[in-house]
Structure 1
Amino acid sequence: MTAVEAETGRLRDESDEPGWEVDPDDEWGVAVIATVGRQLKLRREAVGMRAAEFGVAVGYGEDLVYKVEGGKRIPRQEYLDRADEVLDAGGLIAATWEDVKKVRYPKKVRELGKLEAKAVEIALYECHIIPGLLQTREHARAVIGAAQPPYSPDDVERMVAARLARQSVFERSPAPALSFVLEEGPLRRPIGGTMVWREQLERLLEVGRLHNVVLQVMPTSCDAHSGLDGRIELLKFPDGTAVGRSDGAFNSRPIAEPRHLRILELRYGTIRAQALSPGESLAFIEQLLGET
């Protein structure tokens, strides 16, 4: 065994965190990653480095180098930064991260993130879980990690990162108007353990106090309401258009017809009227936090 081969055996492999699988149905993502991989291979070959040697230099195994270069894996930012240094690319390889980061998340999540990034109003009722826009990293990891059949550790981290990336909506300027109605039940479920639960409740209090956010709790003592069928989401855009989704009424498919949107707006408005007021809701969450 050569020294390079021996060193490669100690490098990060596919069970570590080399990158993410490319979704074959994501045509744009496939094209971007294939182009970046081809650039990496051409530059590596131009300086006369074998894949195994390059892998040692950047801290990854030879097999993963081939997968990244072949457009089969989405490289992480640190991989591209290190490759730029090793290949003396003058920042050209590192700069490809601007394209890679746009396709690093699943296509469905990217499309949702784009809509949320453009919306001037977001209204969301969630009945079974705390919405992804409000989840902490550890809470999201516990929720995603509980899926059956289980996701691979790499897929869990990719999905967690995608969920947290959507939360950039809170950093936008001008800030959108955000409204959330959460059921009491999920707030009481200590997902991830006591510390993760506490951090999640603290996050809800932090967000609920933002000037552009209205956060309400639907108490379990409430009688039947129009959200029992499931999740309701409404997004409104600067040009006056809107998109909505509902688990029960429209089978979660996006809708934009005015008459259908009016139905969702009516249901969401009724839910808000039955929920605790924003002040009462924050007091309720504070009480839960005190009980943990």
Structure 2
Amino acid sequence: MPARKAITGRSQEPRKRYAEELRRLRTARGLSLRALADAVGWDPSLFMKLESGKTLGSPEVAEALDEFYGTPGLLLALWELAVGDPTQFKEQYRRYMLLEAEAVSLWHFGVSILPGLLQVDAYAREVLTLGGYRGKELDQQVAARTGRRILLEGEDAPPFRALIAETVLRTPLRDLAAWREQLDYLLEASECPDLTLQVLPDSSGLHGLVGTAVMFLRLTDGTTVAYTENAYRGELIEENAGVERLQRAYDAMRDQALNPAESRKFILRMLEEVPCEPST
């Protein structure tokens, strides 16, 4: 059987195809990035990142562009395919990613690393490198992970609570300048009205989520799901009893955590302890 010929010259990789389609639709209208941003209501830098494939953005952006271009459902479908692309995320993570994008509120506990939604590029790169990613695949994974920060931006951003173990903030990156950038970003993020950041002191002792990071998602139908993760695997938990057990453990830890104002002061102290790089 002869090889199937491509119908178009466009990419067959979902992430690249989404970026290409966004660029094609804009240029066909003769619009600049700024003109598109003015018409749709997001920052021009977002559309630049979308068209370069550096971020996938949110489903709300895809839906808004579908409405603007008169392509009902097309861009949203391409976005869903890009999010579910196995070259971007591991198999067990794909359904979680779709649910995260739909969540009306999120809350997380970080036992050993910061949540992906709060990682700067350098932090994500070091974590993913430790996970074995290299070269182009590493670049794709970093862009995919840090691109998720768009979820917490804008007026419609869902409320997000991040409970972070003290150990996480006492484990710096190898690059101290990058570590300062990460701590600065946490301080900046902690001032956002829809984001609550709390530090769980080591003095709190053992707790119900020892060795396990967890993200809870409240969905539009009122149900809550949880995604637990350790260094080797992740698991999406949708059964009510399992989610309830994790929530009780989370609530007990939150009661032991520093309040948001104290947590900001703690992060600031960590930042002040980072040695300044010598001038050259």
Which TM-score applies when normalising by structure 1?
Answer: 0.65
C-alpha change, 1:260 and 1:140, in structure 2 (3 Å) is same
Q: Deviations over 1:134-162 (max 9, x none)?
A: 00011111211223xx3231010111111
The 8 Å contact of residues 96 and 227 in structure 2, kept in 1 or not, is answered as no
Task: Quote the residue 2:272 is aligned against.
Answer: 290
The 8 Å contact of residues 138 and 192 in structure 1, kept in 2 or not, is answered as no
The 8 Å contact of residues 130 and 182 in structure 1, kept in 2 or not, is answered as yes
Task: Quote the residue 2:188 is aligned against.
Answer: 206
The 8 Å contact of residues 180 and 216 in structure 1, kept in 2 or not, is answered as yes
The 8 Å contact of residues 228 and 234 in structure 2, kept in 1 or not, is answered as yes
Task: Quote the residue 2:217 is aligned against.
Answer: 235
Deviation at 1:268, TM superposition (A): 0.6
Determine whether 1:130 maps to 2:130: no
Which of 240, 243, 260 lines up with 1:278 in the alignment?
260
C-alpha change, 1:39 and 1:255, in structure 2 (3 Å) is same
Deviation at 1:110, TM superposition (A): 4.7
Task: Quote the residue 1:38 is aligned against.
Answer: 7
> Greater Rg, structure 1 or structure 2?
1
Q: Deviations over 1:159-186 (max 9, x none)?
A: 1111122212112543312111111122
Deviation at 1:76, TM superposition (A): 7.2
Task: Quote the residue 1:106 is aligned against.
Answer: 89
Which TM-score applies when normalising by structure 2?
Answer: 0.67
Deviation at 1:224, TM superposition (A): 1.1
Deviation at 1:257, TM superposition (A): 2.4
Provide the C-alpha distance between the structure 2 equivalents of 1:252 and 1:260, rounded to a whole number of angstroms.
15
* Partner SS state of residue 179, structure 1: strand
Amino acid at match of 2:219: F
Q: Map 1:1-292 onto structure 2 (within 5 A).
A: 38-40=7-9, 71=12, 75=16, 98=75, 102-103=81-82, 105-106=88-89, 108=91, 109-147=93-131, 150-247=132-229, 252-292=234-274
Provide the C-alpha distance between the structure 2 equivalents of 1:74 and 1:166, rounded to a whole number of angstroms.
14
The 8 Å contact of residues 180 and 215 in structure 1, kept in 2 or not, is answered as yes
- Structure 1: tracts of 5 or more residues without a match: 1-33, 42-67
CA RMSD of aligned residues (A): 3.3
Amino acid at match of 1:232: V
Deviation at 1:129, TM superposition (A): 0.7
Deviation at 1:192, TM superposition (A): 4.0
Provide the C-alpha distance between the structure 2 equivalents of 1:116 and 1:245, rounded to a whole number of angstroms.
10
Amino acid at match of 2:120: T
Percent identity of equivalent pairs: 30
* Partner SS state of residue 38, structure 1: coil
* Partner SS state of residue 196, structure 2: strand
* Partner SS state of residue 211, structure 1: coil
109-118 vs 119-128, greater mean Cα deviation: 109-118
- Structure 2: tracts of 5 or more residues without a match: 30-50, 52-68, 275-280
The 8 Å contact of residues 246 and 264 in structure 1, kept in 2 or not, is answered as no
C-alpha change, 1:239 and 1:74, in structure 2 (3 Å) is closer
Task: Quote the residue 2:277 is aligned against.
Answer: none
Deviation at 1:269, TM superposition (A): 0.2
